[in-house]
Amino acid sequence: MPLPDLTLVFGGAASGKSAFAETLILQQSTTPTYIATAQIFDEEMAAKVAQHRDMRGTRWTTIEEPLDLPHALLQAPPNAPVLIDCATLWLTNVILGDHDVDAHTAAFLSALALQEGPVVVVSNEVGQGIVPENALARRFRNAQGRLNQQIAAQADLVVAVMAGLPLVLKGKLP
99 labelled catalytic: no
Q: Catalytic: which of 52, 71, 99, 104?
A: 52
Q: What is 24-55 written as a DSSP string?
A: HHHTT-SS-EEEE-----SHHHHHHHHHHHHH
CA distances from 158 to 47, 121, 162 (A): 29, 10, 13
CA distances from 133 to 114, 142, 166 (A): 38, 13, 31
The pairing of strands 165-170 and 157-162 is antiparallel
User: Taking every pair of C-alpha atoms in the chain, what is the biggest distance, in angstroms?
Assistant: 45
Q: Is residue 72 within 8 Å of residue 111, measured between CB atoms?
A: no
Q: Which residues are catalytic?
A: 52
